[in-house]
Structures are given as structure tokens and as C-alpha cells.
């Protein structure tokens, strides 16, 4: 495992996250044995709407309190979070160049009921990789990995400024509301997908700093 890069699971995680899948495509580990950590990309993402950045958060149920393993975290479906998230995504990106194209990939995840957070996020990530024809060897951990030579579990976080990542230099691309806000870097991967479509892979590759 020492030759692999390890990442946390994420809900439509930021561009920075997907540059790791590009750069380390021969060996990616997604941590599935850690305890759930709140206020991270594990259950939230950030998109750009008409009034600025919008956080989308999946409500969760920690069945074992603060020490619930990420694999056991449940989605709280007592709320209309799927309907609300999709309505917000649609409003933010329906004017984007590749809306219909990308919406076909994402919409099924907001129409089908999911109960497990890790599985929902993992399946979304794989669907996006397939959309981009990104060949990446992804495995999930069977037990907690205390040490890994290339470890991004803490680095990719809304609590950590992405400028601290020496391997990531976001390349500017057109955004729906760029005339209003300028370029907003490192939003959810879907911001890139809706605006650049299959050319997103070129942006990801260009954003990798050796």
C-alpha cells in the first residue's frame, strides 16, 4: 500500500480531489475504515450559483455517535435533500454548455434512494470517472491505514486552503457566473463538468503540478 495514494471518500469532491485520480491513476486507495469526520467533503460539496458559492450538505445519521466508521454512516432520508440538491444544481448549471450531457449522468443519483453515505459517494465518483474515460485503479481500504507514503486524507478539506497543496495549481476555465464573480477555483468537480464537458480531463491534467 505504500506506493498508493490515499484519499478520503467525498461527495462530488472538488477539482483538487480529481487531480489526484489523474496523477496517481495506477494506485488510489479510498479510506473506508476511518471514523466519520464532520464538516468535510465526506458529505458536502461547493458549487457556484447566481448569488455565489453554495454548499450542498447530505444530512447523515451517525449510528455510533462521533465514533461511527465512515462505512456505517447512514443518509438521513427523512428530509428532501435529494430533491433540494438537484433543484439547486439545476438552477446553477442549466445555462451551462454541457448541462444536458452531464445531467444525464448525475440525475439518476437524485432519483434513487440511497441509505449508505459511503456507497452513494463511491458510486458517484466511479460514474464521473467513467464519464471522463479516466482509467484509474481504485481500491477501498479493508482496515484503517495509519501510514501511507502519499496521504491526502487531511489535505483535501474545506478547512485547508488548497494553496497548501504543492501538487495542485488550478487552471482557469469558463464558469456560468464568471462575469459576476470572476473565476472561483476548486469548486465541486461538477462545476468543471457542466462547463467543460469531456474537455474537463484536459483541465484536470493541466492542474497537476509536478
Least confident among 7-16, 148-157, 180-189: 148-157
Domain ranges of the chain: 5-206
* pTM of structure: 0.95
Could you give the count of Cα atoms lying within 13 Å of 33 in the half-sphere of its Cβ? Answer: 10
Where does the chain have alpha helices with state H? 15-23, 81-93, 99-106, 117-131, 178-181, 189-196, 200-206
Over pLDDT 90: what percentage of the chain? 91
Render pLDDT for 159-173 as a digit per residue (tens, 0 to 9): 999 999 999 999 999
- Please say if the pLDDT value at position 1 is more than 50: no
Tell me the three state secondary structure of residue 142: coil
* Averaged pLDDT for residues 96-103: 97
How does DSSP classify residue 172? P
CA distance 48 to 89: 9
**Are residues 85 and 47 in contact, defined by beta-carbon separation less than 8 angstroms?**
no
**Are residues 151 and 27 in contact, defined by beta-carbon separation less than 8 angstroms?**
no
**Are residues 2 and 148 in contact, defined by beta-carbon separation less than 8 angstroms?**
yes
Over pLDDT 70: what percentage of the chain? 99
Render pLDDT for 114-159 as a digit per residue (tens, 0 to 9): 999 999 999 999 999 999 999 999 999 999 988 888 999 999 999 9
Amino acid at each position: 500500500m505504500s506506493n498508493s495514494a490515499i484519499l478520503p471518500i467525498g461527495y462530488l469532491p472538488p477539482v483538487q480531489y480529481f487531480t489526484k485520480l489523474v496523477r496517481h491513476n495506477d494506485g488510489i486507495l479510498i479510506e473506508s475504515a476511518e471514523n466519520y469526520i464532520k464538516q468535510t467533503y465526506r458529505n458536502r460539496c461547493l458549487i457556484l450559483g447566481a448569488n455565489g458559492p453554495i454548499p450542498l450538505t447530505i444530512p447523515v445519521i451517525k449510528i455510533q455517535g462521533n465514533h461511527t466508521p465512515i462505512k456505517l454512516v447512514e443518509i438521513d432520508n427523512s428530509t428532501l435533500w435529494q430533491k433540494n440538491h438537484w433543484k439547486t444544481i439545476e438552477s446553477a448549471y442549466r445555462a451551462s454548455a454541457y448541462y444536458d450531457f452531464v445531467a444525464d449522468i448525475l440525475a439518476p443519483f437524485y432519483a434513487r434512494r440511497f441509505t449508505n453515505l459511503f456507497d452513494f459517494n463511491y458510486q458517484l465518483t466511479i460514474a464521473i470517472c467513467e464519464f471522463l474515460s479516466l482509467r484509474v485503479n481504485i481500491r477501498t481500504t479493508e482496515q484503517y491505514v495509519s501510514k501511507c507514503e502519499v496521504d491526502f486524507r487531511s489535505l483535501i478539506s474545506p478547512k485547508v486552503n488548497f494553496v497548501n497543496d504543492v501538487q495542485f495549481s488550478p487552471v482557469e476555465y469558463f464558469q456560468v457566473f464568471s462575469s459576476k464573480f470572476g473565476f472561483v477555483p476548486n469548486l465541486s468537480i461538477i462545476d468543471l463538468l457542466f462547463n467543460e464537458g469531456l474537455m474537463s480531463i484536459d483541465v484536470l491534467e493541466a492542474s497537476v503540478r509536478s
